[in-house]
A and B are shown apart, each in its own frame.
Chain A
């Protein structure tokens, strides 16, 4: 491309102009009656959404109008109606993510204001949650610190990643490069089923079998340790790592591998010097997604941990498990109200943001890899 890149503003104007042209084209091409139906559908669904957000009992009316107009449209102008509905459904996925963001952030505002702390005379909202380690919802001074839970989540995630990453990548190598077809047909569904075992079942086994065993082995008082929660959560994150890493490994072009093998290398040399480096970003995206799963894992942590939000002494003491960001929500939502409930929403916000950043990062890494590999074929 020899031409000079147009400035950002110009591109924006072009893009908007393109949209407008396309919309006008659609309007010109479509029958006026169909346009009316589509317009009624759009207006009524937006009205229903507004009514629903405003907690109105009358939400049903615009929704009924939408259903009616959609039915009429389906019979008379199927193509236009189908297009409109499909577009609405697509928008709804973004809308849901937006609603999640708005609602969990909104609920967490009061406690963020309550936990303000002064830095050089400037009041920073929410800072006190991260600079002192006390969570006490009962006796004054009432404090909602996130530090113990962040510590717990970090410990569990580190241990889980240490379990899931090497085992997962090795299993992915096995499935994509090593296993004969028949073995793969057995192991692959096995890994899928492993992903399907409900987390509460893992938690139950951990609670009844692993926790008593662990407290016996390490002679700790009471039950629940980050070490074993981490191992269980790591096993639960394993299938995610395996399936994403396997996709990345099999997307490495066969020509690259054959070229290496033709040089007289062993299969293993090809894997370590060609396949793994080529798929490195995809494999690291897989590990990242596994980490995201581990951070968000709730039920196993809830039933296996002690449920006392405090730091372990010393910090590296993995034989005691107190509380994670996820488990504090699942454990305390019942009796919590007011500020405490809002504090649980803060935990939710931290989880959501962390995992979203990880997910977007992993997607970016994957996208770059496929682009690069695509260029080389």
Chain B
């Protein structure tokens, strides 16, 4: 199996590391995966025999791009060209999620499908802005697109959803889907200001240097749009009613606590098909009242009633593990 990796940030690097560890699992399925190319902002590196991760990392650090690799670097090569030359069986899209539109990730995905490659994406944007386009193209080309790394990472939200929707109907869902904002709110419950909680979250590596996507609720908005699309398609993230946690004050949390409530950043898909994100009060001790970096999702099923999923949110390795699970699933689906 020939794999092309587009994007060599934290997720891309974690993916490379986990692929080394999972070789035996792939062999059990009769596959011998080779990462035949990596594309980053500076260009691409391609190698028929599989790229060598450690020297690529050294090249990336020293020269800013894998394109300067001695193994076969192409500084002016973009993702589309790399797809054309490498002819991958699976293209992994792991570039950063863009704001305001699908960005280059959509072009990468469509180009990969056009060249007959399956796609696994960790990039949320194409599935939050152009879900229908991506899935229609995949269908017309007879290729598989997987994107479970876009929601929850370590928490199998989309896989569970696929299982639940066999013989039942999702009437709505809601959940705490962003670890950073939940962590900040948890620290603020102890009386810390928003700024102080954010500082600590940054220092211990929970919040990014630029936490806007998380604290503004945008990351949650992307995720609920993707879940809603997986249920019925036709949604775009710009239809989400959005409010972040920047305006939450310690006194709001104190007052809520006195009345037996917590405040959490909740993403919701209502029975009327509306999508919204914002700080919401939750009864203390209820299933969705998770603290720290935990995520929780409640699916309201027509027949089964509420179904809950609870677990840790995503980091680079959880996201990379979800990408690998998707590749495994593609292999299994291909065998059928």
A and B form one complex: no
B residues lining the A interface (CB < 8 Å): none
The interface of chain A, by Cβ under 8 A from chain B, is none
